[in-house]
Structure 1
Amino acid sequence: MRSMLAATLVFAAATGANAQMTTSPVAGAKPKTVQTVPIQPPAMQTPAATADAMAKAGRLALQSDLAWVGQYNGAITGDVSDRMVNAIKEYQKAKGGKPTGVLNPQERAALAETARKKQDGVGWKIVTEPTSGARLGIPSKLVPQQASDANGSKWTSPTGTVQILLSRRKEANPTAAKLAELEKEPSGRKVDYTVVKPDFFVLSGLQGLKKFYVRGTFKGDEVRTMTILYDQATENTVEPVVIAMSSAFNPFPAGPQAGPPPRKTVEYGTGIVVSEDGAILADRLVTDGCLAITVAGHGSADRLAEDKERGLALLRIYGARGLKPLSLAGGAARTNVDVVGIADPQSQGGAAGVSVVRAGLVPVTSGDSTLSPPPAVGFSGGSAIDGDGKFAGIALLKPAMVAGPTASAPTSQAVMVPAETVRDFLKANGVTANGTSADAKAAVVRVICVRK
């Protein structure tokens, strides 16, 4: 098996004016007062720091796409390396082009489309393992069968040619070196690649007639290990997925923390296209304090208004064609919703796939509902769809503010702002939500905020 390094991926506009109160009626409903704050577009969107951050984000996506087409097998970090340049050259040669090590726009677009098709072909999505809360990327079309117990979960193909295991156990005084040695013990396992770091380990090689890849780590006495087994005949299909899974694996997702979380230099969220002329609904926090806001695939966006109390922001892109605005009419979820969004690149190996996760609803006094479990980072701003396939609201991730021990922190960090509140906000800001599409996946876009 080619060497694969475990990787940790490292990765909106302006100041508010005076608040104003605006009232807008909704047909068949009592008018509500909506708090809005007009926003002026940023005067300066291309400082050197912004350019550097966006360039790194572009390299991250490039490495991911090269990995998905089988040309790159290193750490997906967004950093420039000889490995990445050589992978570009090999890709160019495979396509009959000149191996310059730099992709022209046509080559880059073709690579991205090929990678996207490969992700779609294996059913790539980010899931939360039900017993541990660990997050990992799963090729759901390759391993459609899932079973869970107190010790973890297992995903398998119908014939057993591909198997993915997430295991959890208690271990006294664990160390990465000790855990790596324990993983070498199963009979028939021949290790040909080993990485041992203070906080994690990676092994790969042959286990009988199958190839295997193991990545494990620990926190306190809790050990969590991801194991991938696959027949050698499936190597061309599975190996790029293994690289993506290594980068996406998050065994101990961050929980509630004391005080406000640090703002990211580059932050990713989801937006919902709500009108044909480029109006996009997004999370206020994701798009706050940005030097530049970009909507992936469409370019720069202006932030025109926000509702601080409900956490909503209004963006607009200009000159975009082929938008498929979502119909916002009629949804009324009761017990659960499907949240449609785009997980952070760190959660999906640099990719930008649209995912759907199920969450239960618990009403709270504000009129919003908490979402349990909360969706992954990047989903904030995604659409919540009810059991009839209609828009029920917008899903927002809320950083927990904890004064005492984390054990006393709230268990939910996500809310759904209901559809009625969303429609009020849009009308208060002169947006005619004229969407007619019921395809929530086609209506969501990735929103990228770049800060200092």
Structure 2
Amino acid sequence: MVVLALLAVLGFARAALAQEQAWLQIEAQPSLSEAEARARDYAGQFPNVAGFQIAEGWYGIVLGPYTPEAAAGALNDLRRSGAIPGDSFITDSSTHRQQFWPVGTIAGQILVDPLVDPLTDPAGDLMVVDPALEPVAPVIEVMPAEETPREAKASEAALSADERKALQTAMAWYGFYDGGIDGAFGPGTRNSMAAWQEANGFEPTGVLTTKQRLALGTNYRADQAEFGFASVSEPEAGIEITLPLALVQFDHYEPPFVHYNEKAGSGLKVILISEPGNQDSLSGLYDILQTLEVVPAQGERSKSETSFVINASSAKVQSYAYAETKNGMVKGYLVVWNPADAERMSRILPALKSSFRGVGDKALDPGLVPMDAATRSGLLAGMEVTLPKLSRSGFYVDAKGTVVTTVEAVAQCGRVTLDHDTEAQVVAQDAATGVAILQPKTALAPPAFALFHAGQARLGSEVAIAGYSYENKLPAPVLTFGTLEEEKGLNGEAGLSRLAAPVLPGDAGGPVLDGTGAVLGMLLPPAVKGAKLLPDGVAFAAQAGMIAQALTAVGVSVTQANSSDLATPDALNTAGLGMTVLVSCWE
């Protein structure tokens, strides 16, 4: 009776333990000798290799034990790194019979799991348990042998509608399928299956074998368990999306943002975006996001009239942003993570992309201030904003988007941008004249470009300086009016014009226009003569002739003004502001 009682205790202990621990089955062999040889090989790579008889004539090699949550993570990490076979899967100990590795087998005995102390008699000897009395445990499906394409097609035909949909869902999760989850295996599903097979080292037949279906489904369920994916509905924002709730948690609303901050030190953040707006609001959002510390300057950008994508990366942070405008609303999301988590994000990001959708006719109300005119500090409270070292003005000199600015604007810059988001390269700069020439790295179509004044300018005439007086604080340049005082410097320097105008540092690099809208020159930074600061209102400009020479030297053709008619105030404003561009210098 005592032995029977001990057997009952052993049975319950094994059943409870099977529910609490998990193993990674990495291989199964049909003979004990082959299994021992393979277990010995794996033991050279892993410290937690074990081997059990798992079915009549089959011997499984496993890693573990783990908690169920840790097993999911270990399976994905080891499988994706290639350390274990791609068809490895999670199991519990309910199918483990005799242990043959590392302690081997003992005739007439079944050794209990390594985490359970062996039952002993009072003398400390190992109890001998009759295998016939071992408690019956549920059987976990053993990985089947590989099938021929004909056999795979036949086994596939026996799948239920839900099982077929589950396969499509798993392939969509891994980014191989983007069709409807309808259980119909048409050309789209077949192509997706072939792509999945090829990516995982199988022959791309377009028909998954039973073994491949089991591996795909097991991997998918392991990912779901590891990351805690769940469909999240934000009715206030009108957004539905699948989020990894084991890694992020809701923090707060801050229109137009819904913040999901990192959980358990995951380093992952998700920010949902929702506000009433149109194309202008979308463009404003695009500009504002790129001022954030978490949106590095490096990486791909694409923008259309109705949506944009930002895929940014640096050594310290990586982020992905998407937004679209539809039905008078702008909705999207920003995901931020550590570049070291690239493998994990390769499984998480596709789920966010494929599941995101705007729903209903409601969006977070950011107030009555349009997105593109709102102050960044109000919208982005709690989020670090990246600002340039300095911003100055410049102006377009041809239809290709070539820009002239001051040398000061581009000195010691890690990178230079035009109007925040267009990268530019410095093709020439001359410290003597103070002129720098930039070319955009991507094609531009400027709304206007400079027509250079030819001949002698009239002293005492009114001039207008177009520039970003307050650097990047205003969304557009302004005109500052003054007079042309002299066509030389204070010491008689040629190529300079002296102006009387109340300009600010941000205006430097902007065009100086005469009454016809022709460019007389480029405003230079505030002049300092030795230790003396010149009086307010005294400014200097590099003359049009000097600028034209610099442009010609690098192969840029200039266009001469051919009209002597005075421009209307509106025409002068359109010409001056249309050719003027914000030039920003970044670390």
What range describes the TM-score normalised by the shorter chain of this pair? 0.3 to 0.5
Kindly indicate which of the two structures has a greater share of residues assigned to helix: 2
Larger radius of gyration: 2
- Tell me the TM-score normalized by structure 1: 0.41
Select the structure with the greater relative contact order (CA < 8 A; seq sep ≥ 6): 1
Q: Which has the larger share of strand?
A: 1
